[in-house]
Structure 1
């Protein structure tokens, strides 16, 4: 778990000091999120779990982000700006992801099926992006602001506008996803 926390911390300007990282709102929220999702309420660390869960709940209200505890998030997650970031429980998120404010990653409620997106590694999601249905977003993807996406996106692609124009590009996230933690 500390490897993942260190990778997240590194994404915030190559920080190495945990206390300095906790001054960053995005990292603070992510730190408490990871701690709460790691420890169960009735374990030996149950008291710490309850305190951290309460702190996480306060941060949800303070920053306006709702990322459920059981959401799978890979290492190196970076929240650029806070404000109305909403996720579904079943979303799977890969490594080295950047996400901005007013982003929704939801599910499609079709009859008995409730299906959610899966997002792989090195994906940059700009502000105002909405993702729905069972879509796969593969590696090295850059999505421009205010994009509504409900189709699969191949590797090495640039997604433009709300009309969803996909342009294949060699390395679209170069210069956008920085400070990747090397293990």
Structure 2
């Protein structure tokens, strides 16, 4: 757990160092606060140590104060960074690789209450307002653009932007 937290905090510095300034930036970041809570309760879950009902109240407090929901059942690699807090919802079956960055108003979920959520590779950047829907695979070294809806697999080293919309006239 602590190795993952160290990697998460290193993402706040371009030189990949942990200094007092970097540590302060991390601790004051609402995104990092949500990550710390996730890391702790995920560790308890893996170790099969009891965390309920304490976990329920702490997770709800983080959701209310930061607008970020990361269930303990998610699998998130080291070096995770939430760049701006708020409106971030992850499904419990989400798997995220190492050194990934998520911006605000991102949803990674299932298809309307059934199935699993995405498996996301290493070094992926998910832009503001992006939605990743269903049991899709996002390859390594990908960038998901702002407000992009992803509902199919994305190969390694790809940039995903936009979403084609279809306009249909309504009959009155």
Q: Give the TM-score range, shorter chain.
A: 0.7 to 0.9
Which whole-Å deviations, capped at 9, do the CAs of 1:108-158 have from their partners, x for residues lacking one?
248xx5132110101000011011122110100011111011111111111
Structure ranking higher in strand proportion:
1
Mapped contact 1:85–1:102 kept (Cα < 8 A) = yes
Alignment of 1:145-164 (within 5 A): 145-163=146-164
Q: Which runs of 5+ in 2 are unaligned?
A: 166-172
Query: Structure 2 length as normaliser, TM-score?
Result: 0.82
How far 1:163 sits from its partner (Å)?
2.5
Mapped contact 1:32–1:53 kept (Cα < 8 A) = no
Does residue 35 in structure 1 map to residue 63 in structure 2? no
User: Where in structure 1 do 4 or more consecutive aligned residues deviate above 3 Å?
Assistant: 40-43, 49-56
Q: CA–CA distance in 2 between the matches of 1:108 and 1:67? A: 18
- Aligned match of 1:90: 93
Q: Which runs of 5+ in 1 are unaligned?
A: 165-183
Q: CA–CA distance in 1 between the matches of 2:23 and 2:147? A: 34
Q: CA–CA distance in 2 between the matches of 1:76 and 1:42? A: 24
C-alpha change, 1:42 and 1:154, in structure 2 (3 Å) is closer
How far 1:75 sits from its partner (Å)?
0.5
- Aligned match of 2:145: 144
Q: CA–CA distance in 2 between the matches of 1:147 and 1:3? A: 32
Query: Structure 1 length as normaliser, TM-score?
Result: 0.77
Q: CA–CA distance in 1 between the matches of 2:23 and 2:118? A: 34
Does residue 81 in structure 1 map to residue 87 in structure 2? no
C-alpha change, 1:35 and 1:23, in structure 2 (3 Å) is same
Mapped contact 2:78–2:99 kept (Cα < 8 A) = yes
Q: CA–CA distance in 1 between the matches of 2:48 and 2:99? A: 31
How far 1:100 sits from its partner (Å)?
0.6
Mapped contact 2:34–2:70 kept (Cα < 8 A) = no
For this pair of structures, how many residues does the alignment match? 159
Indicate the SS of the match to 1:39.
helix
Indicate the SS of the match to 1:61.
helix
CA RMSD of aligned residues (A): 2.5
Indicate the SS of the match to 1:105.
strand
